[in-house]
């Protein structure tokens, strides 16, 4: 067994240093959201099928796609690594164990294995990446931050990839509402490496959560050359659209949807379809007619209606089905998830039971005009929504839906309380003050409604 070292001094079982260097380049591509690292790994493995860490790299990347269509490929990749495990070092065995846990549905076990790799090999940027991103998928905000914090003092500017570790840390800090520190690190990263989509994304989250719409629009548009050609661009277009949406700039939001999220030549993949559904549903909550856009999107989701792979996917699929009146697809999704949640014991089954299924039922009720039922589904889970996974900005759609349903159900005291919560955390959001104004009107408080409307108008004007 010949052991080389990667560019950060982490051991790699491989006889040829040139192959290790090639894998390093592919890892950097994955961190920078550029190129096609999976295809690069395939090419490497065609010529060198005994390269253990290349199998780990490919399988680890595939865990993050959360799509059934790649499941067999992921299983084949980890099985190829397992056949080579007798010649693997401890780091590689940790990666293999993590991916095996993932394949078996034990997402928490997978991240625990990657954490152990990081503790023993603090410069293993691949294990850091997979642990951090898995915590994002699980909605574990503390894990997103602390998996980086545990080893961060052992990194510095002299270490290749330091800027990517900073980017992970920035996002973890943001999700734990340490906004000033997160923004400081995120902007520092972008100064070091302007074409760093994940760090641009972390700062965008800070600006979104702080209600700094004008700054967010400037940040995203001024850096457009750095992110629009990346593999993360669809999600960053979504962030830009959110800033415009809060300012009620609906024409701009629809232009982004039509030409950037769903435009000609766009690659169809779940992350793009998640963001597209989330944006259309927000428009729906504001009473905006999106014409036939739901139909094209529901066509993309319907073949995977019964997948039950990831609850976060399922709720976005349900948005498209109920909005396009695809009752059969919606019922198929619900039935599959009910059977799955009642019999499975993996991490996603718990996510489905606790948040996924109640939110899906709430979406169905909302679309049917049964707003009371929607409120009754969402109110008990509102403090458990992190269990759905994703970011705070993404999960905010649950709060939007609950508040709009409360308004439409004429439960105005509840709606006002919910609106006040939103105004308290983001007082510079015009939409939040519009919600408050509608609740005040429902309660007959015209003077307070007028003040809230004036506040929203002044924020838009500013």
CATH number of 1-139: 1.25.40
* Residue extents of the structural domains in the chain: 1-139, 410-461
Determine the Cα angle at 327 with ends 326 and 331, to 5°.
125
Residue 204 CA to residue 10 CA, distance in Å, equals 32
Give the torsion sign (CA, 286, 290, 293, 294).
Answer: positive
Q: Which residues in the chain land under pLDDT 70?
A: 1, 265-269
- Which residues fall within 8 angstroms of residue 47, CB to CB, at 6 or more apart? none
For residues 134 and 150, the answer to whether their CB atoms sit within 8 Å is no
3-state DSSP assignment of residue 36 = coil
Other beta carbons less than 10 A from residue 461's beta carbon: 8
- Taking only Cα atoms into account, the Rg of the chain, rounded to an integer number of angstroms, comes to 23
Question: Which is nearest to 170 in space by CA: 206, 212, 134, 127?
Answer: 206
The residue written with tokens 């040829």 in the block is: 16
At 91 the pLDDT is 97
What's the pLDDT tens digit per position in 412-452? Answer: 999 999 999 999 999 999 999 999 999 999 999 999 999 99
At 268 the pLDDT is 64
What's the pLDDT tens digit per position in 200-231? Answer: 999 999 999 999 999 999 999 999 999 999 99
Question: Which is nearest to 422 in space by CA: 456, 387, 374?
Answer: 456
Instruction: Report CA-CA distances (Å) from 234 to 269, 351, 423.
Output: 10, 25, 28
Strand partners, 13: 3
- Which residues fall within 8 angstroms of residue 6, CB to CB, at 6 or more apart? 12, 20, 23, 24
For residues 443 and 410, the answer to whether their CB atoms sit within 8 Å is no
Residue 130 CA to residue 128 CA, distance in Å, equals 6
Residue 75 CA to residue 93 CA, distance in Å, equals 16
Q: Please give the span between the terminal C-alpha atoms of the chain, in angstroms, as a whole number.
A: 65
At 66 the pLDDT is 78
């Amino acid at each position: 067994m010949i052991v080389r070292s990667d560019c950060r001094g982490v051991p790699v079982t491989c006889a040829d240093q040139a192959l290790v260097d090639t894998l390093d380049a592919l890892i950097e591509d994955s961190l920078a959201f550029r190129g096609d690292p999976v295809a690069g790994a395939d090419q490497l493995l065609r010529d060198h099928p005994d390269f253990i860490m290349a199998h780990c790299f490919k399988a680890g990347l595939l865990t993050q796609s959360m799509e059934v269509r790649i499941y067999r490929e992921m299983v084949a990749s980890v099985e190829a690594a397992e056949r080579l495990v007798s010649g693997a070092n401890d780091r590689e065995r940790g990666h293999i164990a993590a991916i095996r846990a993932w394949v078996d549905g034990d997402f928490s076990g997978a991240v625990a294995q990657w954490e152990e790799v990081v503790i023993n090999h603090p410069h293993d940027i691949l294990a850091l990446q997979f642990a951090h991103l898995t915590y994002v998928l699980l909605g574990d905000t503390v894990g997103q931050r602390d998996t980086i914090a545990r080893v961060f003092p052992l990194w510095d500017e002299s270490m290749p990839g330091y800027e990517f570790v900073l980017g992970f840390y920035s996002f973890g800090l943001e999700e734990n509402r340490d906004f000033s520190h997160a923004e400081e690190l995120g902007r520092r990263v972008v100064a070091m490496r302007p074409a760093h989509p994940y760090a641009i994304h972390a700062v965008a989250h800070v600006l979104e959560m702080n209600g700094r719409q004008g700054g967010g629009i400037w940040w995203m548009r001024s850096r457009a050359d750095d992110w629009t050609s990346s593999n993360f661009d669809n999600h960053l277009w979504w962030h830009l659209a959110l800033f415009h949406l809060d300012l009620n700039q609906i024409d701009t939001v629809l232009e982004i949807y039509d030409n950037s999220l769903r435009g000609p030549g766009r690659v169809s993949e779940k992350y793009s379809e998640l963001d597209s559904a989330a944006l259309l549903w927000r428009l729906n909550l504001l009473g905006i007619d999106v014409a036939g856009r739901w139909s094209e999107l529901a066509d993309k989701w319907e073949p995977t209606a019964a997948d039950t792979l990831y609850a976060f996917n399922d709720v976005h699929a349900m948005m498209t089905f109920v909005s396009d009146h695809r009752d059969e697809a919606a019922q198929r999704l619900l039935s599959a998830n009910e059977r799955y949640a009642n019999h499975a014991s993996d991490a996603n089954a718990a996510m489905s039971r606790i948040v996924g299924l109640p939110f899906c039922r709430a979406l169905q009720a909302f679309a049917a005009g049964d707003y009371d039922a929607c409120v009754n589904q969402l109110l008990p889970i509102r403090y458990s929504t992190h269990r759905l996974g994703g970011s705070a900005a993404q999960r905010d759609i649950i709060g939007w839906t609950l508040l709009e349903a409360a308004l439409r159900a004429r439960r105005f005291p509840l709606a006002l309380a919910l609106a006040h919560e939103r105004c308290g955390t983001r007082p510079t959001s015009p939409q939040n003050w519009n919600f408050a104004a509608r609740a005040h009107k429902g309660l007959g408080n015209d003077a307070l409604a007028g003040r809230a409307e004036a506040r929203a108008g002044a924020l838009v004007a500013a």
